[in-house]
Amino acid sequence: MSKDLEVAGRYANALFQVAQDKDLVDVFSEELTELKAALKANKDFVKLLENPTFTTEQKKNLASAVFEKINPTLRDFIYLLIDRSREDYLSVIADVYQKRVNDLRGVADADVYSVVPLSEQELTALSRVFAAKMNKTKLNIQNHIDKSLLGGVKVVIGTRIYDDSLKTKLKDMERQIKA
């Protein structure tokens, strides 16, 4: 694990614990998702927030103006990150926090690669089958188009890969013929 992810993980876990104690897990999840999207869309704001020439108080004032409508506990958490010069970890913390929420809810993220976009029925069926295999209640599926697969699908859930693509089957046949 990289040091950055380790540091972000500690902050995300602490925030998750506070959210559980205050029964704010879903509130923080929604607000962190919105916050991450806002940071991604406003690169200039991120540059200002991470600018080393700004004082801690200037950064807090800037954050206060932008994040005025978020939960006060979450805002205090952002101030803590600013105090400790960790504001650049905010997006990674949001990702790690969301993973903790997903683990709590029995949800996993999956990337499904196919030659053509899959229908909602196909995605639902894949979600049901692979959620059961992973002992999860639900899969959040992101469908990616990969013309090189030739046919079939490849499902990636965390570190597990289920490859039922025509490309892989042809490679397997080639290896068997050569053996």
* Residue 57 sits in the same domain as residue 121: no
> For residue 9, what is the domain's CATH number?
1.10.520.20
Stretch 150-168: mean pLDDT: 92
Stretch 63-69: mean pLDDT: 87
pLDDT category of residue 2 using cuts at 50, 70 and 90: low
pLDDT at 51 over 80: yes
Percent pLDDT > 70 in the chain is 99
Domain boundary (83, 104, 125) is at 104
* Residue 86 sits in the same domain as residue 112: no
What sign does the CA torsion over 12, 15, 21, 26 have?
A: negative
Backbone torsions φ then ψ of 28, nearest 5 degrees: -65, -40
* Residue 23 sits in the same domain as residue 80: yes
Range of the domain at 143: 105-176
pLDDT category of residue 4 using cuts at 50, 70 and 90: confident
Residues 6+ apart with CB under 8 A from 85: none
Domain boundary (82, 104, 126) is at 104
* Residue 88 sits in the same domain as residue 116: no
pLDDT category of residue 16 using cuts at 50, 70 and 90: very high
C-alpha span between 82 and 133 (Å, rounded): 42
Domain count, the chain: 2
Domain boundary (79, 104, 129) is at 104
pLDDT in tens, 132-158: 999 999 999 999 999 999 999 999 998
pLDDT in tens, 68-104: 889 999 999 999 999 999 999 999 999 999 999 999 9
> Could you tell me if 70 and 19 are in contact, meaning their C-beta atoms sit under 8 angstroms apart?
no
* Residue 18 sits in the same domain as residue 96: yes
C-alpha span between 108 and 105 (Å, rounded): 9
* Residue 33 sits in the same domain as residue 118: no
Question: What's the pLDDT score for residue 114?
Answer: 95
> Taking the model in full, what pTM does it have?
0.77
pLDDT at 1 over 50: no
Token pair for residue 17? Answer: 């614990």
From 157, 158, 152, select the one nearest 172 (Cα to Cα). Answer: 152
- The runs of H, that is alpha helices, within 85-119 are 90-105
How far apart, in Å, are the Cα atoms of 167 and each of 21, 32, 146, 159, 164?
49, 39, 11, 20, 9
* Residue 110 sits in the same domain as residue 161: yes
Stretch 35-56: mean pLDDT: 89
